[in-house]
Structures are given as C-alpha cells and as structure tokens.
Amino acid sequence: MKAAGIREFGASVELLGLPEPRTLRPDEVLIDVRAAGMGNWDEIARTGGWDLGVRPPMALGVEAAGFVAAVGDQVAELRVGDRVTAHSLPLREQGAWAERYIAVAPHVAAVPPDIPFDAAAALPVPALTADQTIGDALGVRPGETVLVNGAGGVTGGMLVQLAAHRGATVIATAGPDSADRLAALGAATVLDYHRPDWPQQVRALTQGGVDAAANAVPSGSARTMRAVRDRGRLATITSDPPAAERDITVRAVLVAPDGRRLGRLVQLLAQGALTVSVGERFPLEQGAMALARVGHGAPGSAVVLRPGPVTERPGGPAALPGEHGPQRYPASAATASVVSPARPGGYSGCGMAMTRRPAAAAERSPLAESSTAAHSGGGQPSAAVTAR
C-alpha cells in the first residue's frame, strides 16, 4: 500500500510502498483511510522526538478518518463500512498517513454521515488535547476566567472553544489577524502576543490574574504563569512546565488516545458547539510539502493528507460534487453567527484588548476566512470544513 513516511528519523517524508496490513488482532480495527490529519507534532515524530511505538522505515501520522474495512474477533461495537475517526497510539503497525491504518477499537469513534472525512481526520489530536487540558488538567468551571496563550493555532482554537463551552470567560493571545476569528470561537478578549506586556495586561484585566491558563506556545509557559493568580492553575501542552510558584498548580499535558471522549467531541462537532477548520489538502505523494505547510497556511486551519479522492461510501464514486472547491459544513454555516453570546463579566471597553467579541465576528465565521485562504501550488484548494 501507499504511505507517506520516513526511512530513518530525521529523513524527509517520502512516498513509501509498504506491505498490506497484517491480519488483525482481536481488539483491532482496520481503517480504509480517506483523510489523515497533520500537525507540528508530526514534525516532532519525524525527527524522533516523539516515540510512536515503531521505528522507521514507517508511515507517519497519528490521526485518520475513513471506513472500517475489517474488525478483530473481539470488536463488537464497530462494523465493516462504519465511518470512523481515530487517534491510536502506540502504533500497532504503521502510521495513519497511509491507505490503511490499524487502530485499537477503544481509540476509535464513530462519525455521523454529515461530518466530512477531512474534518473528522483533523479533529482527534487537537480536540483530545484541548479537552484533556481544559477538562482534566485545569478542571475549568463555569464563571472562571481562563487564559489561552497561543490561541491562534488549530489546537489553540480548540482550547478557546472548549473553555468557552464550559462557561468560562476566555482571554486569548494571538496575532492581530486571528483576533476576529477567535472572538467568533468564544474568546471574550484577544490580546496581541507581540506586545511583551500582555501578561501584565491580563493581570490588569482580571484584578490579579486568571483562575486557569493553558499554554500552547513552545517555551511559553513561564510567561503564561505571570498571568495566573495566586493558587491558580496552569497547564502546558508544549512540554515546558515551569517551576511552581505562588501555590499555582502546574500540569503538562500529552495527548492520550480515548475513543469514548473522541466520540463526545465528534458529537460536539455535529451539534455545532465545536468547529474545526481544514485548509490545504494534499495527496500522500506530497507528504513532505504538506508537512512543511503545517502552521504556514490559513491561520487556525489544519492540513490534511488524502490517500485518494474522498468517497463518502465504501467503493463509491471518486469524488463528491464540489470536492475540489471550497467545502462548508453544514452549508448553512456560511451565515452562522457567533455561537456563544457575549458573557457577563467580559472585559468590554478595556482599551488594552484588541477585540472583545465584535459584532462583526458574526459575519466573519472561521468558515469565511478559511475558504478564501491561499494555498500552495501542490495542495488542493483550501476548504473550510466545520460543524458550526
């Protein structure tokens, strides 16, 4: 089968011809991959900094969506032909950037027919990480103030959405171009991280610091700590936990596979309470280019690899109508407004904030931004895929 991967740690991603997957073990599911997600965590895996459980030569990739092609003897809850998404580690055989991917059944979640595979493939790592950070590591409660440092990225945007979904007032740091998008995702206040005094701005806005903070910026957690109140909580997803101070609880989060939780996040996506934006899409043959585009395309939009044309039915026709142009899910999302109303206790009128959930955000959904995003020569045109 075709795969995108590496011959040795640190080598460039290339197209590999790998043997077909072996016979399944009792707890395994074989996924006929239609789309596989990418993030800069894959760059860490490429260079050997994240042990995925197998060694090169190997397909990379830790998240994928597609159809169940076969199940092991003990798998009762999934059937051949089901639409699924998965983040399954340690890898049982090969990574997810391949035509077929073996996942462990408890790491797999069903995907409703109206969620496109691109969106389902881009969801698992960012959404699981964000949920494990906001829910488990920080235990965010309604009415609390939460800072998300590095909210402009794919995972950063999920942190904002899930904190807002829990009823928190969210302060985000991001670049100026991301401000309106993050307001639409639920941030009450967006501060420009290019201003080095943003932690002081947060302290001033919150009379002493936020209750909880999530850091999504490499080497950014020490600065994030300055914006947390005494006895508050800090969680970082970039492996840089600072020494504890002022009785602040510090946690480092590494994404953990969890099919049940992933299923709940898929449901949030289906309900429109969570959005994932997909930017550029590349075939497996262009895996190296795709990885180089991570973080350089439309801000907050994921890059997706596709082993072949996406078909929504097993063995179905090659491509859906509109497949090669911008896609929106659902179609009505083009006119969707901000999901979360402005919360009481926000920071309206503070001159330091770049934005405070502007009314214009209602017309500027992340869909609209992503769907017009530039794309590199190799990839297919950008498509905004969201469940909002």
Ligand X SMILES: NC(=O)c1ccc[n+]([C@@H]2O[C@H](COP(=O)([O-])OP(=O)(O)OC[C@H]3O[C@@H](n4cnc5c(N)ncnc54)[C@H](OP(=O)(O)O)[C@@H]3O)[C@@H](O)[C@H]2O)c1
**Interface with ligand X (CB under 6 A):** 39-41, 125-126, 129, 149-150, 152-156, 173-175, 178, 193, 216-218, 220, 237-238, 253-255, 295, 299
Q: Which residue is nearest to ligand X (CB)?
A: 153
User: DSSP label at 133?
Assistant: I
Task: Specify the residue, 53 or 218, whose C-beta has the smaller distance to ligand X.
Answer: 218
Q: How many helices and strands in the chain, by DSSP H and E?
A: 10, 16
Is the preceding peptide bond at 106 cis, omega within 30 degrees of 0?
no
Task: Specify the residue, 106 or 295, whose C-beta has the smaller distance to ligand X.
Answer: 295
Residue 337 CB, shortest distance to ligand X, in Å, is 22
DSSP-based helix, strand, coil % in the chain, nearest 5: 25, 25, 50
Is the preceding peptide bond at 116 cis, omega within 30 degrees of 0?
no
Q: How far apart are CA 357 and CA 352, in angstroms?
A: 14
Residue 181 CB, shortest distance to ligand X, in Å, is 8
Q: How far apart are CA 119 and CA 167, in angstroms?
A: 25
Q: How far apart are CA 323 and CA 311, in angstroms?
A: 9
Residue 341 CB, shortest distance to ligand X, in Å, is 24
Task: Specify the residue, 193 or 347, whose C-beta has the smaller distance to ligand X.
Answer: 193
Residue 307, sorted as left (phi over 0), alpha (psi -120 to 50) or beta, turns out to be: alpha
* Among 364, 1, 385, residue whose Cα is nearest residue 185: 364
Residue 132 CB, shortest distance to ligand X, in Å, is 8
272 and 332 in contact (C-beta within 8 Å)? no
Task: Specify the residue, 156 or 287, whose C-beta has the smaller distance to ligand X.
Answer: 156
Q: How far apart are CA 129 and CA 131, in angstroms?
A: 6
Residue 274 CB, shortest distance to ligand X, in Å, is 15
Q: What are phi and psi of 383, to 5 degrees?
A: -135, 135
Task: Specify the residue, 253 or 304, whose C-beta has the smaller distance to ligand X.
Answer: 253
Task: Specify the residue, 112 or 176, whose C-beta has the smaller distance to ligand X.
Answer: 176
52 and 89 in contact (C-beta within 8 Å)? yes
Residue 330 CB, shortest distance to ligand X, in Å, is 24
148 and 172 in contact (C-beta within 8 Å)? yes
The length of the chain, given as a count of residues: 388
Residue 365 CB, shortest distance to ligand X, in Å, is 17
Residue 245 CB, shortest distance to ligand X, in Å, is 21
Task: Specify the residue, 2 or 223, whose C-beta has the smaller distance to ligand X.
Answer: 223
Query: Which distant-in-sequence residues (6+ apart) come within 8 Å of 201 by Cβ?
Result: 191, 195, 352, 353
Q: What are phi and psi of 296, to 5 degrees?
A: -120, 0
Local structure of 120: helix, strand or coil: helix
Task: Specify the residue, 239 or 314, whose C-beta has the smaller distance to ligand X.
Answer: 239
* Among 59, 127, 118, residue whose Cα is nearest residue 83: 118
Residue 238 CB, shortest distance to ligand X, in Å, is 5
Task: Specify the residue, 149 or 311, whose C-beta has the smaller distance to ligand X.
Answer: 149
Residue 75 CB, shortest distance to ligand X, in Å, is 26
Task: Specify the residue, 182 or 288, whose C-beta has the smaller distance to ligand X.
Answer: 182
